[in-house]
């Protein structure tokens, strides 16, 4: 179960919002109205190459890209 090179790079991107070219959106974004002004969004992504799953958050206090293993 290897992660592709692009996903390895993606997992290190904590401050940029752009998904790499093989990541596709999964489901609808989840909207959170919390203590952050305007709330924030989470969007799940799936890699077409290696099937890694990422979750992208617009919460400024959070890591932008979270990798979900297995
Ligand atoms: Zn990948």
Confidence of residue 1 (pLDDT cuts 50, 70, 90): low
Domain boundaries, the chain: 5-68
d(CA 21, CA 40): 24
On whether the pTM is more than 0.95, the answer is no
21 alpha carbon to ligand 1 midpoint, in Å? 9
60 alpha carbon to ligand 1 midpoint, in Å? 24
Among 14, 21, 15, 12, which residue's Cα sits nearest to residue 45?
A: 21
Q: What tens digit of pLDDT does each residue of 13-67 get?
A: 877 778 999 999 999 999 998 776 778 899 999 999 999 999 999 887 777 899 9
23 alpha carbon to ligand 1 midpoint, in Å? 7
The answer for 33, left when phi > 0, alpha when psi is -120 to 50, beta otherwise, is: beta
Neighbours of ion ligand 1 (CB under 5 A): 4, 7, 47, 49-50, 52
């Amino acid at each position: 179960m290897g992660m592709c090179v692009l996903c390895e790079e993606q997992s290190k991107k904590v401050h940029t919002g752009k998904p790499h070219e093989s990541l596709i959106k999964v489901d609808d974004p989840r909207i959170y109205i919390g203590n952050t002004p305007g709330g924030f969004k989470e969007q799940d992504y799936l890699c077409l190459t290696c099937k890694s799953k990422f979750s992208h958050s617009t919460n400024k206090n959070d890591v932008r890209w979270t990798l979900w293993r297995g």
